[in-house]
Structure 1
């Protein structure tokens, strides 16, 4: 295999800039579709239940197919899988308005299309992260910085995508926004076509290799601990996110501007954190970086349950989110680089599948908790869980790191 030499900064690599631009463009399209497609279903069917079913059908294939998708990445390579995914998404998203205008889109067929879009997304996690490593080399600091910048692009897309879709939907309607969404996927694929091909021997599709990747993740102490902590934060933070509109209603007189302020603080804090991580990643070992981020997030989260003015609540939420990329970026970098090369496409999907299962469960549990317990008590529980994750990360950082590939056999 040939890998790009690690640049001092990822943004100096033209390959990485292409990958980052493609990620931003496709993420904007994904976020536009996330708003436009359910709105289209609601407006055409008048059924909130059908709209909710579209959400479920789209996300369901991701945890179910993430691990098998790793086999496809190993067989075809990250670049081919990502480009193929962009092409398929272009066709699938464009098919919705095309079939509807032709009078050939029954609801069952729409669900099939949505399920296929979710199936394509299942391969994206491992493929895109592997593509990052191919673009910036195998230096842990460079890959950590690249993952942080990657998260910056994704977070920015979450901010701009729905806003752009909302403006366009007001002028041209949700149906025609889907044409634009399809074009963003086509542009993403075009940006990646100029990347050098990775020279590798095609790997046969094998469930044994997938199981071997899962075993490696669970046996390697560093990967197991980092994945456990990252999964912990990935389960806890959706509770905080869902708490923001609840706080706006119960603490701040149901003021919608406060709800917007708190959500903006969430996105702004995350964006600032990713930029900081990108600048410092090459100076700090990944496990120590994650420990610092975990401790910082845990400390700040203990301040969120306090009854305080909306401005200080927003600043507290922003500070907590600012520390989280220091956990997630090193975790993804280690999950990408630490396994042996032949197992890398099979390790990250295991973690991705767990996250996609945990996140909707966390949202569902949060709704029930807020109905039966005071919001301060629920948020205090989140802070306690984050503290436990921080302790796990600090303990990992204090112990010597086992060399890659030396995972214990039992």
Structure 2
């Protein structure tokens, strides 16, 4: 405090003035300030993310199932998948311009409300006999367009809510991932249960309701004033240029992208693993998939606990090394229980890479460029994941399981070495 460094010559100043001159710096005052992660605003953001993600996962199952049951065409069902996901990588960067101009809170709320209307329109028009397949594809494409804005809006909403402290944002991103990964586990299960009891058409009403609830949770949040900026492709180029020019961001983004490309191969390997090594036992396949989700959930919670104590680059290096070491165990034959624990452990380390990477992507650029940096990475991930799944399918047809998984472990090791070098020389 100001009074603690005064010399004798300043002793004439009032002691009372010294005590209140800079109350923000009083250690006792700072100590009792609640963490923004415990505040009601952050909890509402996380609750909205979980509820809307559950709705998204329900839609992912219910909408194609609705198409399959009403048309009997697997080709049309596949087309629904393609049309829904295609706008995400194509429009992720332009959507960042809207986030910068209108604010993350407004974009997220409007997106939830649009999704609610679109999902409710499908059963409404179908029951009225006014839903040709081409119009359904239009609705599905619009849902994908809305999802493209979420790439930057939902992440930027975190910083609007909890501030710009690196530790808090890293922990917030980890908890955000906890909500998302938990929704991936329960969303399809809820959709399957509801489809069995009520039918796919009625489940679409539940989907619409989840988006409406998510919007309602966010409407009461304090508004953050944003300076309107013109919509310009130059901003997107400037954001991409900053990402590739900054060594820390470039390294973290490439490492996270590397793991994001490698881990889909592991995910696709799990049923192959159950078939090749465990007598095609479906229970083993289910155990391995459950281990994947459980390990990820545990990892996000651990990251949230430790984020304030470890610098992001060092945290990412530790997570990268841990994941690489565990992945080297996967190519070798082992009992099913140990294989599940290996999968869980590898997934447990990954949030220690992705959460710090996203936190730095959100905080390191100048504020006016942040909405344009995050979508660059998000679009790359959305493009890389389907490619990784396609390539993995080809690899498993022509190479042994041990060879493919050894190549994944080698790739993870290279990513870990890159992160270790960054942790040693962060600037």
Whole-angstrom CA distance in 2 between matches of 1:126 and 1:360: 20
Contact kept in structure 1, 2:102 and 2:226, CA below 8 Å: no
Aligned length: 397
Q: How does 1:192-231 map to 2 (within 5 A)?
A: 192-231=218-257
Report the Cα offset of residue 8 of structure 1: 5.7
Whole-angstrom CA distance in 1 between matches of 2:335 and 2:38: 43
Structure 1 unaligned segments of length 5 or more: list them: 402-410
Contact kept in structure 2, 1:13 and 1:135, CA below 8 Å: no
Q: How does 1:188-267 map to 2 (within 5 A)?
A: 188-267=214-293
TM-score by length of 1: 0.95
Whole-angstrom CA distance in 1 between matches of 2:404 and 2:414: 16
Contact kept in structure 2, 1:8 and 1:142, CA below 8 Å: no
2:387 is the counterpart of 1:361: yes
Whole-angstrom CA distance in 2 between matches of 1:171 and 1:56: 28
Aligned partner of 1:311 in structure 2 is 337
Aligned partner of 2:72 in structure 1 is 46
Contact kept in structure 2, 1:244 and 1:263, CA below 8 Å: yes
Whole-angstrom CA distance in 2 between matches of 1:351 and 1:240: 21
Whole-angstrom CA distance in 1 between matches of 2:392 and 2:426: 37
Report the Cα offset of residue 77 of structure 1: 0.2
Aligned partner of 2:175 in structure 1 is 149
Q: How does 1:286-325 map to 2 (within 5 A)?
A: 286-325=312-351
Contact kept in structure 1, 2:313 and 2:426, CA below 8 Å: no
Whole-angstrom CA distance in 1 between matches of 2:407 and 2:36: 38
Aligned partner of 2:118 in structure 1 is 92
Secondary structure of 2:179 counterpart: helix
Report the Cα offset of residue 295 of structure 1: 0.3
Contact kept in structure 2, 1:62 and 1:119, CA below 8 Å: yes
2:196 is the counterpart of 1:186: no
Higher alpha-carbon deviation: 18-27 or 242-251: 242-251
Report the Cα offset of residue 233 of structure 1: 0.4
Q: How does 1:9-408 map to 2 (within 5 A)?
A: 9-401=35-427
Larger radius of gyration: 2
Report the Cα offset of residue 202 of structure 1: 1.1
Whole-angstrom CA distance in 2 between matches of 1:69 and 1:200: 16
Secondary structure of 1:284 counterpart: coil
Whole-angstrom CA distance in 2 between matches of 1:400 and 1:337: 15
Higher alpha-carbon deviation: 241-250 or 292-301: 241-250
Whole-angstrom CA distance in 2 between matches of 1:10 and 1:225: 29
Report the Cα offset of residue 296 of structure 1: 0.2
Whole-angstrom CA distance in 1 between matches of 2:43 and 2:145: 27
